[in-house]
Structure 1
Amino acid sequence: MTLRKKLLPGMAPSAPALAAALLLGLISSQAHADCERGALDTLYCDENGDMVADAPTDESQWVDPDTLIFAYTPVEDPAIYSDIWQPFIEHLSDVTGKDVRFFAVQSNAAQVEAMRSGRLHIAGFSTGPTPFAVNLAGAVPFALMGSDSGQFGYTLQVYTHVDSDIHEITDLKGKRIAHTSPTSNSGNQAPRALFPEMGVVPGEDYEILFSGSHDQSMLGVVAKDYDAAPVASEVVERMAARGLYDEEDVRLVWESDRFPTTSYNYAYNLHPDLVEKIREAFYSFQFAGTELGEEFEGVETFIPINYQQHWRVIRTIQASNGVQYTRDNLQ
């Protein structure tokens, strides 16, 4: 009997066939056992030490799909962003010669799992989840939104309702504070790392309530469902521009130095020629005069980045919080 012979219902495989199958599985699971990988999952290698997954050395493992799937970070209304991203989707299609489809994701975990499984080829990951995408899904960050002069980033801002008695970080003690999600940088990781040196320990000095998104945190502050919330400046600025809340209803309590914003990534195993076209599409896209440019006010272009350098501060924050890049910790 060979492994290809069909077994009848209820028939067990022969010992040689079973042994062969187990051997094939063992070889597959240990395919990268000998390589350097740092914090990367065992699916990937990092022989050059740049902290991202190397492209497969076996050309037969390169992926060159007819249709590219692109996803932006989880947002309150994915349908709106599907339309906003359409000018870029068309540009990406023109440059790569591929059909490109926008994939609306519901959570950071779902987005990372989609790339890990090969169902997602290009993605914008939020700041905090980016290291999870790099280490668990083989994501390779290569661009983020910025100005023609190379300026980029956002700040962590803490907002409260204008009528509240919160005027500084120490006033958060004893309150109900909205964090966004466990993996979020400005919505959870950065406050946990930065607030203690200002005299407040999140989760001990105040109650943490996870809202699910920056949008929901901000709207909850406006509705007085939460006493305050740490949020990403770029998100609340876009919300205000769309008239989703009245800026006079809230008060800024504190603001951090700047962090890198959403990273744009390709899957590590895409064909190198396709990767070059994807990079070209991002770097040549002009925001001016597009819906995307109107949505991301002040953004003029995608600028080149590398994960090892530009995400150092984020990795430091996560390390101080004891974050481990596992699938169980991805939320």
Structure 2
Amino acid sequence: MKITKRAVAALAASVLALSACGSAPEGGGSSAACPGGRVRFGIEPYEDPAKLKPAYQIMATALQARLGCPVELQVVEDYSAEVLAMRNGRLEIAQFGPLGFVFASQRAGAVPLASFADGGGRLTTYTAGIWVPADSPVRTVADLRGRSLALGATGSTSGDALPRYALRQAGVPDRDVRIQYAGGHPEALLALTKGKVDAAEINSQQLATAKAAGQFDPARHRRIWTSAPIPNDPITISDKLDPAFRDRVAKALLGLGAADVAKVGAFLDVHPPGPMVAVTRDTYKPLFDLASTMGLTEKDV
């Protein structure tokens, strides 16, 4: 489904306000102990926001109970909007894609706290991929010269930077490929299945979601390139907040149960889901290195 900016903006404007009620929350805190009396939690629209919102609502409700602060969930317009929102003090916490985190760290002071783990407590990863039809003459990334390639969205780790890095490694300049930004991972996959492009990026998370929904048949397509594993999205907090409060948020996130994050984990191909695990800036060092190698800046997000 093509997500229009108007639709995403409407969802972003419709903030999910989760009020604390009933018995004292597990975190033992109150809205008075929270920045501005609430915590605003930003999410990038890496999938249809109408599908993301119910999954993150479960997670936000559980986080609110542990933290003792009202949690307001916001689906932002795009990658750059989320970085800008945290930099301007309009988000206290946010989930960024790995490459988005690089620039959020540099430009908005985002501090990584936790990410998604499997049932064994291991940090989960995913991969970027480039796919073509099964009968395509394209066998390697170098064969994409002169052909069309659908990418997800500008600033996406698996849907932009890594496929373009693969082109560079294969000696193919961007200008020699007809790159088309589809508007998201689902749209890039759809462009390929509808025969509108010669190739498309499909990351392992989108692949799992599309296969489960019966929207993609791997037997009718062929993967010509796969990236190295990418650590899953970090949930971050602004470094402008009090360190004691940052510690409270970290403890609350790490205290969430598998059931609290299972619906979100399904979008991130986390099977079986486990409690979240702590991450640091060093966890995402390969993405900082990628940004440096590619000469990327926040303008590329």
Question: What amino acid maps onto 2:161 in structure 1?
Answer: Q
Larger radius of gyration: 1
- C-alpha contact 1:173 1:200 (8 A) present in aligned 2: no
TM-score (norm. length: structure 1): 0.73
1:94 and 2:65 are equivalent in the alignment? yes
Structure-2 residue corresponding to 1:323: 296
Indicate how the Cα distance of structure 1 residues 188 and 330 shifts in structure 2: closer, same or farther if over 3 A, else same: closer
Structure-2 residue corresponding to 1:67: 38
1:257 and 2:238 are equivalent in the alignment? no
Structure-1 residue corresponding to 2:150: 178
Paired residues in the alignment total 265
Structure-2 residue corresponding to 1:304: 278
Question: What amino acid maps onto 2:280 in structure 1?
Answer: N
Task: Could you tell me which runs of 5 or more consecutive residues in structure 2 were left unpaired when the two chains were aligned.
Answer: 1-32
Structure-2 separation of matches of 1:227 and 1:294: 29
Structure-1 separation of matches of 2:173 and 2:129: 15
Structure-2 residue corresponding to 1:150: 122
1:232 and 2:203 are equivalent in the alignment? yes
Question: What amino acid maps onto 1:259 in structure 2?
Answer: I
Q: Percent same amino acid among aligned pairs? A: 25
Structure-2 separation of matches of 1:249 and 1:71: 37
- C-alpha contact 1:214 1:236 (8 A) present in aligned 2: no
2:216 pairs with one of 218, 231, 245 = 245
1:189 pairs with one of 130, 152, 161 = 161
Structure-2 separation of matches of 1:153 and 1:297: 8
Structure-2 separation of matches of 1:75 and 1:255: 20
Structure-2 separation of matches of 1:99 and 1:111: 20
Please tell me the root mean square deviation across aligned C-alpha atoms, in Å: 2.2
> In the TM superposition, what are the counterparts of 1:1-331 in structure 2 within 5 Å?
64-147=35-118, 148-197=120-169, 199-288=170-259, 290-295=262-267, 296-298=269-271, 299-307=273-281, 309-325=282-298, 329-331=299-301
**Per-residue deviation, residues 287-306 of structure 1 (Å, max 9, x unmatched):** 24843354443132311111
Find the residue that maps to 1:111 and give its secondary structure.
Answer: helix
Question: What amino acid maps onto 1:251 in structure 2?
Answer: R
Indicate how the Cα distance of structure 1 residues 294 and 75 shifts in structure 2: closer, same or farther if over 3 A, else same: closer
**Per-residue deviation, residues 90-140 of structure 1 (Å, max 9, x unmatched):** 111011111112101121111111111111111110122111111111211
**Per-residue deviation, residues 188-239 of structure 1 (Å, max 9, x unmatched):** 2223333333x34241332211122122111111111121122322232223
Find the residue that maps to 1:159 and give its secondary structure.
Answer: strand
Question: What amino acid maps onto 1:107 in structure 2?
Answer: D
Structure-2 residue corresponding to 1:37: none
Deviation at 1:330, TM superposition (A): 4.3
- C-alpha contact 1:218 1:229 (8 A) present in aligned 2: yes
Task: Could you tell me which runs of 5 or more consecutive residues in structure 1 were left unpaired when the two chains were aligned.
Answer: 1-61
| 293-302 or 249-258, larger mean C-alpha shift | 293-302
